[in-house]
Amino acid sequence: MILVEANSIVKSYGSQKVLNGLSFNVETNEIVAIMGKSGTGKSTLLNILGLLDKPDHGDLTLFGLINVRPFSSKASNILRNKIGFLFQNFALIDNKTVEYNIALALKNRRKINKADVVAGALKKVGLEGFEKKYIYQCSGGEQQRIAVARLLLKPCELVLADEPTGSLDLQNRDEIIRLLLLLKEVGKTVIIVTHDPTVASRCDRTIFL
């Protein structure tokens, strides 16, 4: 089943055309890398896929819905329930605990033991016992794993990852690759913007811009 369908996407900033007639499909439960030189529109494309920006021309179909307008109520509903993000800067709240950050993914879920669910997610990413640590006490690699743990619990079908290993050493990079594959194993579709050919080689396929 096709989850994402881009058809002749064009996006310019002033006189600079960063996406010029881009077309591709992503199937449900694929893990796909997007690669290209700096300035080829990788992050712009991710913003369009994440309904944070819109193309100048062309059609984008997400979850069977065509050309959803960014910041509309429909877009907000999709972002809340169907799309998750994984950023290079982790997007965690530094002065809050690990447990607090991960539990944000559970805020609309009732009748569950949130502490147990958070503990289970941390165990999956190899950070058992980290619940009461503050984010600022964690290393970069640990913070990215915490962000993945949150995604494991967030109700989303599509994960958009922007250079998720860009600031990590090789050991932590390999661990994040393992966890990205874990997101696929639990049924999520993953699109990764990356400069790293090792990351791309572990994906089902690569789209070059």
Expressed as residue numbers, the domain containing 134 is: 2-208
**Any idea which of 95-99, 166-170, 201-205 has the lowest mean pLDDT?**
166-170
pLDDT digits (tens, 9 = 90+) for 37-84: 888 899 999 999 999 999 999 999 999 999 999 999 999 999 999 999
The per-residue pLDDT for range 109-139, each reduced to its tens digit, is 777 899 999 999 999 999 999 999 999 999 9
- Cα 128 to Cα 73: distance, rounded to the nearest angstrom: 37
What's the total number of domains in the chain? Answer: 1
Token pair 């913007």 is found at 193
CA pair distance 165, 174, nearest whole angstrom:
9
Burial of 108 (0-12, 13-18, 19+ CB in 10 A): exposed
pTM score: 0.91
CATH number where 196 lies: 3.40.50.300
